[in-house]
Amino acid sequence: MRAVVVRAPGGPEALVLAEVPRPRPGPDEVLVDVEAVGVNPVDAGNRADPSWAGLRAPYVVGYELAGHAVDSGEPVWALLPVRGTTRGALADRVAVPREYVAPRPPELHPIVAAALPLAGCTALQVLQRLPLPAGSWVFVHGATGGVGHLLVQLARSCGLHVAGAGRPEERRRLEELGVDLVVDRAEPAPVAAAARRLGAELDAVVDLVGGRLASSLPSVREGGQAATVVDLAGDLDLAIDRNIDVHGVLVRPGRDRLYELSAAVSSGLRPHVTDTYPLERAADAHRRLEAGRVGGKLVITL
Ligand SMILES: NC(=O)c1ccc[n+]([C@@H]2O[C@H](COP(=O)([O-])OP(=O)(O)OC[C@H]3O[C@@H](n4cnc5c(N)ncnc54)[C@H](OP(=O)(O)O)[C@@H]3O)[C@@H](O)[C@H]2O)c1
């Protein structure tokens, strides 16, 4: 069968389409015929440098997939751990530990389903960490991105008000996603700009870009919330002075969260798939992701 293997870490060209033996599932694994695989920044990160993920080449990247269980024919999706996974999703067949696979929402095309597990579970996990009553204001850095555009939808469905920054040409898209207050991303302090427009400090800030928390904290209210999925860069002392809870979030895969994601899909959550690539062009998908401005998700089809 085919798999996209990293034999030596490096740029997108490190992704090599190879023939590999079919996996033999263990007793606690589900053999899945893969139909589509979502692309995420962590794929590129682990391709270029596997040390954070604790990998040694050769390994296969790709952590979210939609497909069919070989035994039952059931449509499934799965989210694999982004650390320690050597037999990733970019293969015709994957033996997935049972705890990471679940039935997928029947209303979604496999390409659309494959775009959801990683970014969707991350967005759910971030929101679950923030104890925000309905009506609270949350500022999202990176609201148009893979995680961001799902987090905005989920936040709105929890009754939160969302502020976000984008380029002027992204205003309409952000508003359509559900962002209530759009500020220009070129502003030196977009959260402060949002607070000025609201006439009040924000209840929470979420950093999906990196390096955005320190400059955001002055505009988060005393006792508010801050979360990041990227880094804790800069001087965060203000979190102490203002009793702001700071959350570092790493997506944790699991069946239960996939069921929660299915429920969110039933309530209307939809990813935006910007583009698809066949397996042979996985390297082009990585190039596109790393060039930025994807405005949603890229999906590799099998
Ligand atoms: N901790 C976890 O478990 C976890 C899970 C998922 C993702 N992540 C991390 O979270 C980050 C976002 O992931 P993603 O899948 O949403 O990536 P993505 O689809 O590439 O989205 C990134 C977003 O950040 C925006 N952005 C990039 N540079 C910016 C800048 N200088 N100023 C303002 N906005 C900027 C992008 O806009 P443009 O591209 O238009 O510039 C885009 O909206 C990545 O670093 C990823 O590794 C962590």
CB atoms within 10 A of CB 189: 14
Distance 140 CA to ligand 1 centre (A): 11
CA of 270 to the centre of ligand 1 (A): 18
Distance 210 CA to ligand 1 centre (A): 8
Q: Is the CB of 249 under 6 A from ligand 1?
A: yes
Burial of 180 (0-12, 13-18, 19+ CB in 10 A): middle
* 3-state secondary structure (DSSP) of residue 213: helix
Q: Give pLDDT, residue 236.
A: 98
Q: Supply the residue whose CA is at minimum distance from atom 4 of ligand 1.
A: 229
Burial 123-158, CB ≥16 within 10 A → b, else e: bbbbbeebebeeebbbbbbbbbbbbbbbbbbbbbee
Residue 145 Cβ contacting ligand 1 at under 6 Å: yes
Query: Along the 302 residues of the chain, how does pLDDT read in single tens digits?
Result: 999 999 999 999 999 999 999 999 999 999 999 999 999 999 999 999 999 999 999 999 999 999 999 999 999 999 999 999 999 999 999 999 999 999 999 999 999 999 999 999 999 999 999 999 999 999 999 999 999 999 999 999 999 999 999 999 999 999 999 999 999 999 999 999 999 999 999 999 999 999 999 999 999 999 999 999 999 999 999 999 999 999 999 999 999 999 999 999 999 999 999 999 999 999 999 999 999 999 999 999 99
Residues written for the chain: 302
Taking the mean position of all CA atoms in its chain, how far away is CA 187? 25
* Annotated domain spans of the chain: 2-116+271-301, 120-248
Q: What is the CA radius of gyration of the chain?
A: 19
Ligand 1: atom nearest CA of 40 is: 15
Distance 30 CA to ligand 1 centre (A): 31
Q: Which CATH code, of 3.30.870.10, 3.30.70.60, 3.90.180.10, 3.40.50.720, is assigned to 2-116+271-301?
A: 3.90.180.10
Establish whether residue 188 lines the binding site of ligand 1, counting it when its CB lies within 6 angstroms of any ligand atom: no
Beta strands 75-79; 64-69: pairing state: antiparallel
Measure the CA–CA gap between 134 and 206, rounded to whole angstroms: 16
CA of 45 to the centre of ligand 1 (A): 12
Can you name the residues that pair with 76 across neighbouring β-strands?
A: 67, 103
Q: Is 206 in the pocket of ligand 1 (CB under 6 A)?
A: no
Q: Answer whether 0.95 is exceeded by the pTM.
A: yes
Q: Is the CB of 250 under 6 A from ligand 1?
A: yes
Q: Which of 118, 23, 22, 110 has its CA nearest to residue 67? A: 110
Q: What is d(CA 53, CA 49) in angstroms, rounded to the nearest whole number?
A: 8
State the pLDDT at residue 197.
Answer: 97
Q: Nearest C-alpha to atom 12 of ligand 1 is from which residue?
A: 208
Q: How far apart are the C-alpha atoms of 215 and 190, rounded to whole Å?
A: 9
Strand partners, 91: 3
| β 181-184/64-69 pair status | unpaired
Answer whether 230 contacts ligand 1 (Cβ < 6 A): yes
- Give the closest residue (by CA) to ligand 1 atom 18: 145
Confirm or reject: Cβ of 68 under 6 Å from ligand 1: no
89 with 80: CB under 8 angstroms?
yes
In the reported structure, the alpha carbon of residue 127 is separated from the centroid of ligand 1 by a whole-number distance in angstroms of 17
| Whether the CB of 273 sits within 6 Å of ligand 1 | no
Question: According to the model, what pLDDT value does residue 281 have?
Answer: 98
Residue 292 CA: which ligand 1 atom is closest? 39
CATH annotation of 120-248: 3.40.50.720
